[in-house]
Amino acid sequence: MFLKNQWVNALRSGDNVSSYFGVFDLNIGTTKTGAKFLKIRLGDRTGTVEGRVWDSALAEDLYQTLALGDIVIVQGTVTEFNGLQVNLDTCIKVEKEHVELNDFRPCTEKDISVMLDDFIELLATVTTPPLKGLLETIFDSDFLTEFSTAAAAKTIHHAYGGGLLEHTLEVMHYCCQVCEIQGEGINRDLLLTGAALHDIGKLWEYDQEGLSFNRTEEGKLLGGHVILGYDFVQKKIDLVNGFPKKLALHLSHLILSHHGQKEWGAVEEPHTLEAVALHYADLLSARVNQVSQLIKSHSGSEQWTNYDRNLGRSIYVPEVIKKGLKREKSS
């Protein structure tokens, strides 16, 4: 077993690099003089970094022979150009059985076992018999294991192992706060069940066994996680004896409308109090995570991050956070 000795989050401009990384993106570019070069995004569980191969012959050879999800050993030098970049002298593919794959997948910084305990405790607060029975039918021990290590996306938010559990748990906690404020006017059990299940389809929308969490054919052809999740939950509802049709209708609406707007992927816009609450809880978790990840990945000397096209803005990095990031990355 080859041991990894350098990590993305510890790289600094000027460092010499000689270590193993996963391949997260590959593209051929052309310089102003017409020479070919390779743009390769390298990564491990701590993050990703842009790489460049400037030797034209090597660049074209690597583009033809490497694939997303491969593991490579590279040698090169870290420079800074719109963020950190590794200029590669060598890049050689390594068979996956020789490395620990979990070293190369972005993973949550939180303790998965602690989050899982919290998730199970929240599920146990749902006492409405049909909903309780549905949750128990779905979240058995094997399913919980699969669910707890899955990513919530390839990019945008919670795009790392354990991210689906982390995001779902955040949404459930936000929903609990809404219920405390709203009082008896909202169906807490229905909302929490919807929160627990709203992104369940992401288990099949994304390749949860790969390094990059690419979308699967199923995810691309069958409408993404909203439809996949809806279909999955419908099948599980059929296994719960006497599940009320109206309750199934309202739970289905939560799953189908949680994106909020049709242009954002919702099948229908939210039309119930619980659906509106779930949408905004989901959006809050996603946006806060997007900003947090952007700040954590900020490595420049400027007070602002680079422009993020998904957020449509740059983010201000307070000096206290900036100093903390420097200490964290130097440790």
What's 49's domain CATH number?
Answer: 2.40.50.140
Tell me: do 86 and 59 sit in the same domain: yes
Q: Which of 53, 83, 103 is the last residue of a domain?
A: 103
Token output for 294: 């952007």
In a domain, 150, yes or no: yes
pLDDT tens digits, one per residue of 49-83: 999 999 999 999 999 999 988 999 999 999 998 88
In a domain, 302, yes or no: yes
What SS3 string covers 28-55?
EEECCCCCEEEEEEEEECCEEEEEEECC
d(CA 240, CA 252): 15
In a domain, 2, yes or no: no
Residue 13 has a pLDDT of 95
pLDDT tens digits, one per residue of 191-233: 999 999 999 999 999 999 878 788 999 999 999 999 999 999 9
Average confidence (pLDDT) over 72-96: 94
Tell me: do 191 and 270 sit in the same domain: yes
Average confidence (pLDDT) over 271-285: 98
Residue type, 101: L
Residue 324 has a pLDDT of 57
Looking at the predicted structure, is the pLDDT value of residue 95 above 60? yes
Structural domain containing residue 30: 8-103
Tell me: do 240 and 143 sit in the same domain: yes
Tell me: do 64 and 145 sit in the same domain: no
In a domain, 39, yes or no: yes
In a domain, 14, yes or no: yes
In a domain, 1, yes or no: no
In a domain, 266, yes or no: yes
Tell me: do 282 and 304 sit in the same domain: no
Give the residue among 147, 165, 252, 161 at the shortest CA–CA distance from 204.
147
Give the global pTM: 0.77
Looking at the predicted structure, is the pLDDT value of residue 101 above 80? no
Tell me: do 50 and 148 sit in the same domain: no
pLDDT band at 321 (very low <50, low <70, confident <90, very high): low
Q: Alpha helix locations (H) across 75-221? A: 112-124, 129-138, 141-149, 163-182, 188-197, 202-205, 217-221
Tell me: do 179 and 125 sit in the same domain: yes
Q: What is the CATH number of the domain that holds 258?
A: 1.10.3210
Average confidence (pLDDT) over 40-54: 93
Tell me: do 48 and 72 sit in the same domain: yes
Tell me: do 53 and 142 sit in the same domain: no
Are 113 and 149 spatial neighbours (Cβ–Cβ below 8 Å)? no
Buried b / exposed e along 143-173 (16+ C-beta atoms within 10 A): ebeebbbbbbbbeebbbbbbbbbbbbbbbbb
Token output for 18: 């000689």
Tell me: do 140 and 225 sit in the same domain: yes
Provide the pairing of β-strand 84-94 with 16-30: unpaired
Count of the separate structural domains present in the chain: 3
Are 139 and 200 spatial neighbours (Cβ–Cβ below 8 Å)? no
Tell me: do 60 and 120 sit in the same domain: no
Token output for 131: 């909903």
In a domain, 262, yes or no: yes
Tell me: do 219 and 281 sit in the same domain: yes
